[in-house]
Structures are given as C-alpha cells and as structure tokens.
Amino acid sequence: MTTKKRDYYEVLGVDRKASMDEIKAAYRKLAKESHPDLHPNDKEAEARFKELNEANAVLSDPEKRAQYDQFGMDGPMGGGFGGFGGFDASGFGGFESIFDQLFGGGMGGAARRNAPMQGNDLRYGLQITFEEAAFGVKKSFDFMRNENCDTCQGSGSKAGTQPETCPTCKGSGQMRVSGGFMVSVRTCSTCGGSGKVIKDPCGTCSGSGHVRRKRTATVNIPAGIDSNQVIVMNGQGEPGINGGPNGDLQIVVTVRPHKLFRREGTTLHLDMPISFTQAALGAEIDVPTLKGSVKYKIPEGTQTDTVFRIKGEGIPRLHSSLRGDLMLRVRVDVPKRLNDKQKDLLRQLDASMTGKEYESQKGFLDKVKELFQ
C-alpha cells in the first residue's frame, strides 16, 4: 500500500502564496531541527528530513513549483515530469552536504583541511634610486621566511614518530555544539582545527614544523618602474601546507626622489634658472638630463615660467622601447647685487625703451587706461 504524500506547502508550513525567501527560511529552520545528525538512529527524523528536502526541491524551483501548483503530485499527464514521487535526497549531495550548507561545516571538512594548500605570500619593501628606476637594475637583498624543518620534514613530530589523529574531534578539526534546536560548529580546541595532535614534538622546531631562515634573492628591476609597483617572484614565499606549492614573494618598490627632476608617469619635469640676458637675447644652454646634458636653444624674449618640451628625454615606458619627454620650465633669475656701473647701464637701457619691447606691460597699461576712462 502506497502512503499518500503530504502537500509540499504543508510540509514546509508556508502559505501557497509564500515568497521564495519565506520558503527558503522555513526550509532551513525545519531542516536544522530534523537533521539526522541531531537524531541518530531515528528513522522518523530521517523520513521527515527527506520529506523536507523533497518539498524544498520543488517549491524553490519556479518552474517545478508552477507545475506542482497546476497538476499536484502527479505532474502533467500523470507522468510526474521529473519525478516528484521519485525524489532522491542524494541529488542534493546527501546529508553531509546539506549539513555543510546549514551549519558551515560537516564531515567533509577534514578532507578539505588536509588538501594541499599554497603557502603564505611574503611582502618585501625595496628602495631604489631615481636613476635605477629609469634605467633598470639587478638587485640582491636578504629576507626572512619560514621553511620546513629539515629534522622532521615539516611534520612537527620527533624523528621516527608521526602526528596522530585528534582524539577529541576524530580528525575532523571541528566540534559540534548543540544548544536546543540549534547546532553550532566550532574549531576543535585540542588540535586547533588541524585534525592532528603531536605527542612527541620535534626538538628543532618545537613542533611547529617550520624554522626561520635568512635567504638571498636577486630580482631584475625593469626600466620605467615607479613607486608602489609590485614585482612577484613565484614560489619564493613560505612553504605550502600538506604538500601544496610555496607562496610568492611580492616586492614592493619605492623610488627615492631626485634632487633635480620630478616625475609624472613617463614625463620628467625640470625647473632651470636662466639669466636676464639669456632670456632677453636668447641663448643656447646646457640642459641636464638623466643621460647627461643636452644643448637647447632658448629663443629671445623668453619669459619666466615658460615651458619647453624636449622629446625623448623622459622615463622609458615599462616593458617598451618608447620614452617620455622632458618638460623644461625656465625661471628668469633677476640679479640682486649690482654695482653702480651695472645699474647705470640698466637705466640707460630702460631709458632707450619705447614701451613696444614689453608686450605684457603694454597690454597691462592699456587695460588700466580703459578702466579709468
């Protein structure tokens, strides 16, 4: 005799117009209360749990729910369309995966904790000069890292012994603590979540499985690098766990400032003083660059704060043969200490001026006249 199944909405205790969030919340609440792990050897609890999963599988799927609302348990044409009646809890990963979803842990936790994992990455701050950043350089440096203990091969146990399965959590690394209808999963306090305990610790590493060692690394700094950029040296970090690969060494570059130049990306900026005579008459001046000085012709009548572009004298683009430009800003250096003869010469020069020689001054005076007319 076939037992008639209960209405799925009745199983979850929700109204037929319940939202997806209400269905999900009802399922989680009832599944926690009826989970077989909380009721070992209780066939009725196991049956209730399967019934809850079957109801949730249908009502949480919009298409299946619509068909169920229209045709009931039998499905369209009485065929069951995918088998409401043939529901199999194993399709949801079994009790273990359901427990994982509900409580954040489960019996699979031990397997995950014992799986190979990559070691921790290390970060090292490396300072280089402005010129080294512009042209590239090979740098060697010392750093400290944890490495597997040679005596115990990283196990933490004394030679000839091995870590044992934790007697408290039976190797799962977790403890389930029941409080009424709720169950919480906590890290095992005995083994710290590893699932293993060390009875006889290694004398070299005191049971940690690691020792601290100084290592030397050499890194090629590419031309054009800038501050806060990171170079990654794969596999130079701390050792992996359970046979996993080593972590990486991340080198964070800091470029020291230059006494003359400022940098914006691949562009260099230089402020350079020129004399009053050079600005007035024009001149060919020696302009310092990172590769040495170059000749540049300043046109006559150059005003202070005028900016000239010198192409190709900037910073190289990272991993490219292209270079930025040098932006030269000139500052007219007005003499402060003149003797009497020099002052007389300047007065004679000024007296000989008609005003047309000073374009900016003429424009300013014209504006003043317009203001008071």
Q: What is the pLDDT of residue 355?
A: 64
- Our CA dihedral for 314, 315, 318, 322, rounded to 10 degrees, sits at 30
- H/E segment holding residue 222: none
DSSP state of 323: B
CATH 2.60.260.20 fits 258-334, yes or no: yes
- What SS3 class is residue 271? strand
Residues 6+ apart with CB under 8 A from 270: 260, 261, 262, 287, 288, 326, 327, 328, 329
Q: What is the pLDDT of residues 69-78, one digit of tens each?
A: 877 766 544 4
What ranges do the domains of the chain cover? 8-103, 258-334, 341-373
DSSP state of 203: T
**Token output for 24:** 């999900």
Q: What is the pLDDT of residues 158-205, one digit of tens each?
A: 988 888 988 988 888 888 776 555 667 788 888 877 788 888 999 999
Residue 212 has pLDDT above 60, yes or no: yes
pLDDT, mean of residues 53-69:
84
How many Å separate Cα 95 from the centre of its chain? 36
Cα→Cα distances 114→67, 111, 241, Å: 44, 5, 8
User: What does DSSP say about strands 122-128 and 249-255: parallel, antiparallel, or unpaired?
Assistant: parallel
Confidence of residue 86 (pLDDT cuts 50, 70, 90): very low
Q: What is the pLDDT of residue 79?
A: 46
DSSP string, 65-133: HHHHHHHGGG-GGGS-TTTSTT--GGGGTHHHHHHHHHHS--TTHHHHHTS-BPPPPEEEEEEE-HHHH
pLDDT, mean of residues 72-89:
48
Higher pLDDT, 210 or 34: 210
CATH 3.40.50.300 fits 8-103, yes or no: no
- Domain 8-103 and domain 258-334, same fold? Reply is no
**Token output for 196:** 């293993």
Q: What is the pLDDT of residues 320-360, one digit of tens each?
A: 999 999 999 999 998 888 899 988 988 888 888 766 656 65
Q: What percent of the chain has pLDDT over 70?
A: 80
- Our CA dihedral for 94, 98, 103, 107, rounded to 10 degrees, sits at 20
Determine the Cα angle at 136 with ends 133 and 142, to 5°.
Answer: 85
How far, in Å, CA of 147 to CA of 126, rounded? Answer: 22
Cα→Cα distances 167→135, 170, 202, 227, 230, Å: 60, 5, 20, 52, 45
Q: What is the pLDDT of residues 213-265, one digit of tens each?
A: 999 999 999 999 999 999 999 999 999 887 789 999 999 999 999 999 999 99
- Note the pTM of the prediction, 2 decimals: 0.59
Give the gyration radius of the chain's Cα atoms.
40
Lowest mean pLDDT among 14-18, 75-79, 89-93: 89-93
Residue linked to tokens 């006889």: 200
Contact 218, 138 (CB under 8 A): yes
AA letter at 371: L
* Nearest Cα to Cα of residue 258 among 267, 245, 268, 248: 268
Q: What is the pLDDT of residue 112?
A: 56
Q: What is the pLDDT of residues 259-306, one digit of tens each?
A: 999 999 999 999 999 998 999 999 999 999 999 999 999 999 999 999
pLDDT, mean of residues 4-21:
87
